[in-house]
Each structure stands twice: as structure tokens, then as C-alpha cells.
Structure 1
Amino acid sequence: MKKLLVHLLFILVVVGLGALIGVSNVPGHWYQSLQKPPFNPPNWIFGPVWTALYVLIGIAGARLWLQAPASSRTQLWFGQMALNFLWTPAFFGMESTALGLFVIIPLLASILVFIGKNWQPDRVSALLFVPYAVWVGFASLLNLSLFLLN
């Protein structure tokens, strides 16, 4: 029962904070006015993708918390979450593609380090981060393109 509660708590907190940050930093006129690359996805895709990713991230965080709450792997999980939650206010809130890049590049690096550090001790958590790494890699390319085009 404890494991289930920890998993639910992590998922609810990650999804809830992600949603709160998202609705507090809605893409507005500034974002709509940016010149976009041809591979820019439609706006409606971001909400469902991030919700699914936040569930996976929450599960990985709960697994680490239950295994080793004071470990460097758990600290890395919290660090990448801080960067994740910083990107939206940096990019949309501050209306800055440059500041977004300044946050998303270390975020992507921390996700990749997380996968590497967890590959042996907790392969499931590492694999839960693979779709996240792919999406943030794509988002990094998109952020860089928006920076260069504008």
C-alpha cells in the first residue's frame, strides 16, 4: 500500500505542478508572432504529450524515492525536475528563446545523465526517461530553431 501511495503522490505532484506552470505561462501573442520552423508541431499536442511524460517522470521519481531517497540518483531526479519546471516560465513567461535555450540544454543533459546513472541499478526508471529524453531533444531543436529564426 505504501508503494502505491508514494507512486500516486509523485504522479499527482509532478502532473499538478506541470499543469499549474503550464496554465500560468500560456503561449500568447508573443509566441504566435514568432517565425516557426516547418517541423513545429500544432499547439494542441503539447498538453497531452507533457501529461504522459509527467506520469512517466513521476513513476521514475517514486521508484527512486522508495529505493534510495537520499541517493545522488534521486537528487539528480529532483534537479532535472527543477530545470523542467523552470523552462516554461523562462521561455513563455519571460518571452525569451535565449533564456529557454539556457535552461533546456542543461535539462536535456541532466535527463541523459539520469538515464546513464540509472541504467544498471534501475533500468525501469532509466527506460521511463527515454521518451522524455527524445521529446526534450526535439524541444531543444525547436527552441534553437526559434532562437535562430527570430
Structure 2
Amino acid sequence: MTTFIPSLTLPAAIFASPAASILFPVVLGTAVGFSVRPKETQKTYMALKQPPCRPPPWVFGPVWTALYGLMGYSAYRAYTVGLAPTASIEQHLLTKQGATLYTIQLGLNLIWTPLFFTLKRPMEATIDIVAITGVTGYLTYVWGQVDAGAGWCLAPYLAWLGFATYLSAGVGYMNDWDTRSKEVSVPPKGKDTKYVDEKAE
């Protein structure tokens, strides 16, 4: 069982407010996305050899925004149910422990994009997303014991993390774990545009 660590946990005020809980991860995720220059990341993404079933770049923004919102709602729901006057001592403990896990997974989540696209470290990025998936899986179990709805709200996020882990590892493997020189001058347009490696085939 994990432990509640105040120094590694977001302030209670964020969890207690539905607006703050939902908007906090959405705003942070959006800020990180724009900080790594979306047009530049799209160029890099389109230049990399890709595993099967990879989505076009435009999919990631809307998907992550929705998942961050669900993640935030799950946090609010678990926190309010688990710390309600009618909650049991076990629910109270699990809620606080989950808050620490939530904070850790969010921090790990926010560093993936800079690791992969800015620093161009696919190996470290893949290790990071495996860690996110593991922590989130445990968080889903912990908060699911507090409130089933909170656990189910994390299920789409956990499923996407599994898919994203496949993409991260697949891209790393297919590009020999080196993406430093992979970039095209102009990002291809259109949903049906093929990737650079496919053009050469």
C-alpha cells in the first residue's frame, strides 16, 4: 500500500473544487503542449518511422484534453467521497494515498512530451510512460475502492496510456532509439497524408 506524502501531493483545495480539479490538469497539459511548439513536434512526428495503428497528429490534442478533464473529475469525485463525514477510515486513508499517487502520475505525464520531442530521448520517454501506466493502474485500483465512479473515470486514461506506451516503444524501436535528426521541413497536410518513411517505400 502506498503512503500519503504531503510534500508530493497537490494542495487539498485543488481536489476539493470541481472546477480546479478539472481545469488544473487540462491547463497544465495544454501549457506543456504549447511549450514544445506543436508545429515543430508535428514535423518530428511525421518524420519518424511509425508502428501500425498510429493516429494522425491532430488526434492527440482533443484526446488528451478529454482525458485530462476526466482525470480531474475522478480526482474531485474520489476526494469528496473519500473525505465525506460518512466515509470510513479506510476510505479516508485510501483517498489521501490516492492523492499522492495522482500527483506523481500527473508529474510523470507532464514530462513525457519534453522528453520525447524536446530532448528527443525516446528510451527515457518510454520508461516514463511505463511508470505513468503503472502508477495510474494502481491509482485506479485505490480510488476505485473509495468510489467506483472515480475508478471508472480513470479507465479511458489507463487504456490510452497502454496504447501510448505501445506507440512510444514502437517509435523508439523502429527508429533505433534515436530521433535527434528526424524532422521534415514542412509538416504534411491532410488526414490521409502518409508518413515520411512510407513515402520512401
Fold match by TM threshold 0.5: yes
- The aligned runs of 1:4-83 (5 Å cut-off) are 6-25=17-36, 26=38, 27-66=41-80, 67-68=82-83, 71-83=96-108
| 1:115 counterpart = 2:140 | yes
Structure 1-normalised TM-score?
0.90
Q: Are the aligned partners of 2:18 and 2:76 in contact in 1 as well (CA < 8 Å)?
A: yes
Distance across 2 between alignment mates of 1:121 and 1:29: 43
SS in 2 for 1:120: helix
Distance across 2 between alignment mates of 1:123 and 1:81: 21
Q: Are the aligned partners of 1:83 and 1:104 in contact in 2 as well (CA < 8 Å)?
A: yes
Between 136-145 and 69-78, report the one with greater CA deviation: 69-78
Question: For the pair shown, which has the larger CA radius of gyration, 1 or 2?
Answer: 2
Q: Are the aligned partners of 1:30 and 1:95 in contact in 2 as well (CA < 8 Å)?
A: no
For 2:60, the aligned partner's letter is F
How many corresponding residue pairs?
Answer: 147
Deviation at residue 50 of structure 1 after TM alignment: 0.5
Q: CA RMSD in A?
A: 1.9
SS in 1 for 2:110: helix
Identical positions, percent: 31
For 1:24, the aligned partner's letter is S
* 1:82-126 deviation per Cα after TM superposition (whole angstroms, max 9, x unaligned): 111111111112112111112100000011101111222211111
Structure 2-normalised TM-score?
0.68
Distance across 2 between alignment mates of 1:14 and 1:30: 25
Identify the residue that residue 95 of structure 1 maps to in structure 2: 120
Distance across 2 between alignment mates of 1:90 and 1:111: 19
| 1:146 counterpart = 2:171 | yes
